[in-house]
Structure 1
Amino acid sequence: MLAVLFALVPATSAPAAPGGVRSTDGVAARVGQLSAQLARADADLRQASVRASVAIEKYERAAVRQRKAADALAAARRRTRSAGDAVDRQQDRVGLMVRRNYELGGVLGTTASVLAGDPSDLITNLGYLRYVGNRQAATLNRYRQSKGLAVLAEGTARSALKAANTARRKAASAKAAAQQAVDQRHKRVATLSAQRDKVQGQLDSIEAHNKSVRAAATARERRQAAARRRSAATATEVSASTGGGAMVAVRAALAQQGKPYVWDAADPSVGFDCSGLALYAYQQIGIELPHSAEYQYLQGRHVSSNALRPGDLLFYSYNGQVSGIHHVTMYIGNGQIVQAADFGIPVQVVPAYFNFGYIGATRLA
């Protein structure tokens, strides 16, 4: 998820230019100046990338909380409607009872004044109607109280959603600002790199150090061959597996190699960030994960780094705490991981690392 992970795969330095060649002092000094500037700019970029990854993680947490608040408000509205419907129905019952009481009371009163029968029957009937009416009215009051509580709960949920929306907007602004800062530093590094490369090219042509170039090419070929051997070993290990949901997730993640790093993305047609790659891979076996490295760390069960299996998720924190988790990778076996590391770096397989803030691993299947 962050540029600081660039340092995780050992890099080779450019070959040193042979000394004692005439007319190279000025160009060599300029190369040194640009290299120093580039080193400072790259360090600045790594720091900005850490800040950006933290901002992204905070935004993703805010998005999770906003969705939960929206669901809570929808549920509160349903309860309010249900309570309102109950009040309406009970009001109808009470109204009907009042009308019947009134009508029956008038008829019985007239009859009692005309007939010479026992008036105790009339009194009994009227008393029963009043009793039933009082019970219906009491029920109506309870329903009204329930509706009042539901309305209050809905208001609370609405306020919570408003606060969550505000927090998400602020987190989005912070994420955008952090992304802009990273983009600016990427441009600075690219500019310095281009300048240094240009001057280095001049130095190379003056010194005609083809021998150094051939040595560098040989070293690169050796690294590439080693990488191919590691990839072949990994492919053999994954292919040799006889099953298990975790292996399906591993194969799903490996199939995304070469896809671009895109912040807050979890879609093969768009790209992935670190937690998005884990989310997508485990979706393929029906395990739904939140789009947040910290929240993913809280899923499943934690396992030791010396007992890792393919499919385990490895997490990294900038402050050694769960609240500082900002990156997640997937262990694929043979001492390797697959990850979406940072802007400009596609999904790729690299050797597993347990420094740079490693905090623990989680097993989901």
Structure 2
Amino acid sequence: MRARNMAATTVLALLASGLVAGIAVADDDTVPSKDDVHDARTAVRAQLDDVAAVRARLVVANQRLQQSAVAAAQAAEAFNGARWRADQARDAATEAQAGVTAAEADVERQRQAYSDAVVSSYEMSPELTALAGVLDSDGIDTVLQRTETMRNATDAMSGNYDEFRASAVVAQVARDRADRALDAAKQAEQDALDARQEAQRAADAAAADAQSIAAEKGALIARLADLQHVSVDLARRRQSGLEARAARAAAAAAAAEQAQEQEQAQPPAPTGTPTPTQEPTQQPTEQPTEQPSEQPSEAPAPPPAATPAPKSGAQAAIAFARAQIGEPYQWGAAGPDEWDCSGLTAGAWGAGGTYLPHYSVAQYEQSTPISASQLQPGDLVFWGSSSDPGSIYHVALYIGGGRIIQAPRTGRPVEEVSMYYWTAPNFFARP
């Protein structure tokens, strides 16, 4: 009898909450049958399964949103890389053309020198022939002198010709190099244009995906609200809380992993050395009673001077980046009012007195790689899709305490967040 009453109470409670609908009830309204109880339990399980399925679809939607953002970031940094390579190629072409100009000027000088030698040889030839040297000589010394002069003139003319030919070869090599450099610059500029178009397509696709996924998530949350018999607003807040809790858990796990790496990186304390807590326990009981009573009567020490604003180095970089918080993200931008990820870090370290290219991969390559356990304020943290630094697609400025300043992506302005806000970074470097 007790079991039947409990079953009846369960089904009535389910019916009252609206979780069970369309279940056939026995003729006796107060005593559900075993089939009624079974059907009620089955409905509850099915409904819980529906909730789990909706939440799983929300997880997938969030993953798609993240993948879309990564693809957009990769395309934006690919454009920065192509633009950087184009600048380098154009500089190389300019340098090569300067080499051509110098080589051609040298060829002209050698041509003139050779022409002068030929003319001089022709003008002196009547006097330098061996026969003239014998017929007109006043003696053997004159013959020898004229013969030596003739030999020297011939050698000089040959030497001038050789230098002219060498200069001509050098000039031709310089022209070939300049042509190749110019072709490379044109190709690099075309690559940069293509990368720019691809970055725009990726940004547009990410924006469209975000809008589509937002609509999909809205429908899923409305379905959750219906299944849980709560308002849509409450369901949305519940879902946001679950996602925030998952993000905090992931951040805590990543931070714990980094702390463990730092602990492992520290050398163990040498055994047999006295601990630093042994001596301080004796001194405070011996001397503090006399001196403190005498010195406070003297004039107090002047207050410390105000700390000047940092002018260089890591602190200046951090101060610059912090001043940009709230300014919008724009791929390819490097200030003064819009930024992308590598544009912000380049601008920050530029304020600190260190040049960094506007390209995350090049920033890593031109800095000193470090481990996560070695991070200090002002260092750079990078995200890459593999263990190859060439896969880096995002960079941020580390400010200490596990936090960063970054220009994240379209729709999110420059911000200060945990460096585990997204996924854990996998490259670290010090400019």
Instruction: Quote the Cα distance in structure 2 between the aligned partners of 1:199 and 1:268.
Output: 40
**Alignment map for 1:318-357 (pairs within 5 Å):** 318-353=385-420, 356=423
Q: Displacement of 1:208 after TM fit?
A: 9.2
CA distance change for structure 1 residues 304 and 319 in 2, over 3 Å: closer, same or farther? closer
Q: Displacement of 1:321 after TM fit?
A: 1.8
Tell me the TM-score normalized by structure 2.
0.61
1:248 aligns to what?
316
Instruction: Quote the Cα distance in structure 1 between the aligned partners of 2:202 and 2:54.
Output: 21
**What letter is aligned with 2:82?**
A
**What letter is aligned with 1:345?**
R
**SS of residue matched to 1:358:** coil
1:70 aligns with 2:90: yes
1:93 aligns to what?
113
Cα deviation 1:270-307 (Å, max 9, x = unaligned) = x1111111100011122111111111112332333234
**SS of residue matched to 2:366:** coil
1:287 aligns with 2:359: no
Instruction: Quote the Cα distance in structure 1 between the aligned partners of 2:85 and 2:67.
Output: 27
Q: Displacement of 1:159 after TM fit?
A: 1.9
8 Å CA contact 2:76–2:331 kept in 1: the answer is yes
Instruction: Quote the Cα distance in structure 2 between the aligned partners of 1:185 and 1:294.
Output: 22
State which drifts further: 351-360 or 251-260.
351-360
CA distance change for structure 1 residues 175 and 34 in 2, over 3 Å: closer, same or farther? farther
**Higher RCO, 1 or 2 (CA under 8 Å, sep at least 6)?**
1
1:177 aligns with 2:177: no
Instruction: Quote the Cα distance in structure 1 between the aligned partners of 2:123 and 2:374.
Output: 83
1:138 aligns with 2:159: yes
Q: Displacement of 1:40 after TM fit?
A: 5.5
CA distance change for structure 1 residues 175 and 128 in 2, over 3 Å: closer, same or farther? same
**SS of residue matched to 2:413:** coil
**What letter is aligned with 1:258?**
G
1:317 aligns to what?
384
**SS of residue matched to 1:258:** coil
Q: Displacement of 1:246 after TM fit?
A: 0.6
CA distance change for structure 1 residues 203 and 329 in 2, over 3 Å: closer, same or farther? closer
Q: Displacement of 1:342 after TM fit?
A: 0.8
1:162 aligns with 2:183: yes
8 Å CA contact 1:42–1:189 kept in 2: the answer is no
Unaligned runs of 5+ in 1: 1-18, 22-30, 224-238
8 Å CA contact 1:274–1:327 kept in 2: the answer is yes
Percentage of pairs with the same residue? 30
Cα deviation 1:327-351 (Å, max 9, x = unaligned) = 1111112331100111111100001
CA distance change for structure 1 residues 149 and 52 in 2, over 3 Å: closer, same or farther? farther
CA distance change for structure 1 residues 331 and 297 in 2, over 3 Å: closer, same or farther? same
**What letter is aligned with 1:100?**
S
1:49 aligns with 2:69: yes
1:4 aligns to what?
none
Instruction: Quote the Cα distance in structure 2 between the aligned partners of 1:153 and 1:164.
Output: 16
1:189 aligns with 2:210: yes
Q: Displacement of 1:182 after TM fit?
A: 3.6
8 Å CA contact 2:71–2:202 kept in 1: the answer is no
CA distance change for structure 1 residues 147 and 47 in 2, over 3 Å: closer, same or farther? farther
Instruction: Quote the Cα distance in structure 1 between the aligned partners of 2:308 and 2:402.
Output: 16
Q: Displacement of 1:143 after TM fit?
A: 4.0
Q: Displacement of 1:113 after TM fit?
A: 9.8
1:124 aligns to what?
145
CA distance change for structure 1 residues 61 and 147 in 2, over 3 Å: closer, same or farther? farther
State which drifts further: 243-252 or 101-110.
101-110
CA distance change for structure 1 residues 158 and 97 in 2, over 3 Å: closer, same or farther? closer
Q: Displacement of 1:254 after TM fit?
A: 0.7
**What letter is aligned with 1:61?**
G
Bigger radius of gyration among the two: 2
1:27 aligns to what?
none
CA distance change for structure 1 residues 290 and 215 in 2, over 3 Å: closer, same or farther? closer
Q: Displacement of 1:128 after TM fit?
A: 1.4
**What letter is aligned with 2:355?**
E
Cα deviation 1:225-260 (Å, max 9, x = unaligned) = xxxxxxxxxxxxxx9898562100000011111111
8 Å CA contact 1:272–1:340 kept in 2: the answer is yes
